Structures are given as structure tokens and as C-alpha cells.
């Protein structure tokens, strides 16, 4: 099973501020949905809490939430005590066969713990300057950019590009 990480960041690497994403980019949300639909998604408990109630759980995907709190439970979510445990859960066969890929969808603490298991990174770079408190990991020399759709302009006016790293 391939393990992918998917995030959107500013050029400085900011992914969040006060448990929210400090910009609006509908094209990136569409990319996120198209990429993750049908695959299990792994997220931290803070990211789960940050999802709007109307999209919680994210529809059409197994939602696996990482928390150290053994008593935590939420409708539509499965709990795991660690990222490794979440990836084990995600690998279990769902219908006939196991999933081709699992996507780790955040946040910062979970990306850092999951990076060692990952073979794919989908990184949306947003040309915006915002103050943040949560940062993306920096891909090291083991990663190469294997897809780059180039800079685009959102209908919101923000410039962004979506790149894929593999190793
Ligand atoms: C998370 C939402 C947040 C706020 C409002 C709506 C990349 C993104 C994430 C996470 C963007 C989100 C949503 C969007 C997805 C819809 C449901 C509504 C769906 C990430 N590159 N971008 N993110 N939803 N991890 N990586 O917007 O969700 O998928 O069904």
C-alpha cells in the first residue's frame, strides 16, 4: 500500500494558524477531494476537530483519527493510537482487496510522524504571506519532483501550483 501525504502550504511552509487553513483555495479543495476519494484518510485529532461538521467524516473515505486518548470516539471515525497503528488499520482489506493508497491529510504533528512511511507527497504551494503556527515538513534529498502542473491563478486571485514528490 502506498502512503501519501497531502498538504497545502505557503511559500514559507505555513499550513495552519489557530487550527484553520488561513486562505481559501477552492481549486485545491477540489484537488484534495479528487486525490483522496475512495482511499482511507489518516488525520490527527486536531485536524478532525477543525473539519466543518457538515464534512465530518469526509464522505466516501474511511476516516482514521490518531489520538493518544484511548477513550476518544466519534461517529464516522476509527481511532488509532499512533500513525503506525493508523497505517495498519488503513491497510486492512475493506471490500475485496486492500486499498492501493492511504492519504495522510494532516496536521503538522502527524505529517512529521508519517513522513518516514511515505512514498508520495502532494504539495500545493500557495503564493500568499500569512502568519501561521503550524508548518509542513521539508522534503529532503530522498525526494524528487515527478509532477508539476505549473503556476495557476485561482478564481480567488491567489497563485498556486500543485507538485508531486516521489521516492
Ligand atoms: C479540508 C475542508 C475544510 C474546510 C471546509 C471544507 C491539501 C487541503 C487539505 C485539507 C484542503 C481541506 C473542507 C474540502 C474537502 C471536501 C469536503 C469539504 C472533500 C489537505 N492540498 N488541501 N483541505 N472540505 N490535507 N491537503 O479543505 O476540508 O474532500 O470532500
Residue pair 61/36 in contact by the 8 Å Cβ criterion: yes
- Per-chain mean pLDDT for the chain: 96
Which atom, in ligand 1's list, is nearest to the CA of 105? 25
Nearest CA to ligand 1 atom 20: 7
Please, what's the b/e burial string for 107-133 (b: 16 or more CB within 10 A of its CB; e: otherwise)? bbebbebbbebbebbbbbbbebeeebe
pLDDT tens for each residue of 151-167: 999 999 999 999 999 99
How far does the centroid of ligand 1 lie from the alpha carbon of residue 44, in Å? 14
CA of residue 152 to ligand 1 center, whole Å: 19
CA distance 126 to 15: 10
Ligand 1: residue whose CA is nearest its atom 5: 52
Q: Pick from 129, 106, 120, 123: which is nearest to 14 by CA?
A: 129
For residue 13, the CA-to-ligand 1 centroid distance in Å is 17
Q: Indicate which residue's Cα is closest to atom 19 of ligand 1.
A: 33
138 phi and psi angles, rounded to 5 deg: -100, 120
**How remote is the CA of residue 119 from the centroid of ligand 1, in Å?**
21
Q: What is the pLDDT of residue 100?
A: 85
Pocket of ligand 1 (CB under 6 A): 6-8, 28-29, 32-33, 51-52, 55, 58-59, 105-106, 124
In the predicted model, what is the mean pLDDT of residues 60-70? Answer: 97
- As a residue count, the chain comes to 167
Average pLDDT of the residues in 16-28: 96
Give yes or no for a contact between 99 and 1, defined as CB atoms under 8 angstroms apart: yes
Residue 99 has pLDDT above 80, yes or no: no
pLDDT band at 95; cut points 50, 70, 90: low
Average pLDDT over residues 21-31: 97
Q: Is the pLDDT of residue 96 over 80?
A: no
C-alpha to C-alpha distance for 94 and 102, rounded to whole angstroms? 12
Residue 113 has pLDDT above 70, yes or no: yes
Flag whether pLDDT at 46 surpasses 80: yes
Residue whose Cα lies nearest atom 14 of ligand 1: it is 29
Predicted confidence (pLDDT) at residue 117 exceeds the cutoff of 70? yes
Query: CB neighbours of 21 closer than 8 A, spacing ≥ 6?
Result: 8, 15
CB distance 79 to 65 below 8 Å: yes
Residue 56 to residue 63: CA distance in whole angstroms: 9
Q: Is the pLDDT of residue 138 over 80?
A: yes
CA angle 56, 137, 6 (to 5 degrees): 40
- Per-residue pLDDT at 94 exceeds 70: no
**Among residues of the chain, what percentage have pLDDT more than 70?**
96
Ligand 1 centroid from CA 29, angstroms: 5
Task: Say which range, 50-54, 60-64, 92-96, has the weakest mean pLDDT.
Answer: 92-96
Amino acid at each position: 500500500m502506498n502512503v501519501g501525504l497531502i498538504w497545502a502550504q505557503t511559500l514559507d511552509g505555513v499550513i495552519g494558524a489557530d487550527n484553520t487553513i488561513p486562505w481559501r483555495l477552492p481549486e485545491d479543495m477540489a484537488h484534495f477531494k479528487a486525490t483522496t476519494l475512495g482511499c482511507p484518510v489518516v488525520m490527527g485529532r486536531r485536524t478532525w476537530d477543525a473539519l466543518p461538521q457538515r464534512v465530518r467524516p469526509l464522505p466516501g473515505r474511511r476516516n482514521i483519527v490518531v489520538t493518544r486518548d484511548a477513550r476518544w470516539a466519534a461517529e464516522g471515525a476509527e481511532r488509532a493510537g499512533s500513525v503506525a497503528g493508523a497505517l495498519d488499520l488503513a491497510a486492512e482489506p475493506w471490500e475485496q482487496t486492500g486499498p492501493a493508497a492511504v492519504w495522510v491529510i494532516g496536521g503538522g504533528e502527524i505529517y512529521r510522524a508519517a513522513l518516514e512511511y511515505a512514498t508520495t507527497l502532494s504539495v500545493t504551494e500557495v503564493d500568499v504571506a500569512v502568519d501561521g503556527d503550524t508548518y509542513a515538513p521539508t522534503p529532503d534529498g530522498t525526494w524528487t519532483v515527478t509532477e508539476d502542473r505549473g503556476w495557476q491563478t485561482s478564481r480567488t486571485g491567489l497563485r498556486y501550483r500543485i507538485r508531486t514528490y516521489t521516492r
